Amino acid sequence: MTVKRIKELGETLKLNIQNYYIVMNRVRGEVDEATKNFLDNQGITPDVHIQEDEKISELDMAGEPTYNLPAESVSVKQMFNFLDKIFKANN
């Protein structure tokens, strides 16, 4: 998985990364146990699950950027909650 490689790369390059965050997008329902176990073994907790959002697909098909998503979109709300969590953890 990409998350494992990114973490290994940060360690190899001796970057001063204190917190690793993972955003899982297009999640349908809950994250399966195998994925949770893999991430747990890597020392990474899935921080946010962006549920599959039909509005994103609609914008994509129309060639419009995702920043045109309305504020009431579930995926926008989930992402802002995640960003709030990061800022609170790092301040």
pTM reported for the whole predicted model: 0.62
pLDDT of residue 32: 82
Residue 72 CA: distances (Å) to CA of 15, 17, 37, 64, 78: 37, 33, 32, 18, 10
Q: Residue 44: enclosing H or E segment and its boundaries?
A: none
3-state helix, strand, coil in the chain (%, to 5): 50, 15, 35
For 13-31, what is each residue's pLDDT tens digit?
Answer: 999 887 777 887 777 777 7
- Separation between Cα atoms, residue 88 and residue 23, nearest integer Å: 17
- Planar angle of CA 47, 88, 10, nearest 5 degrees: 55
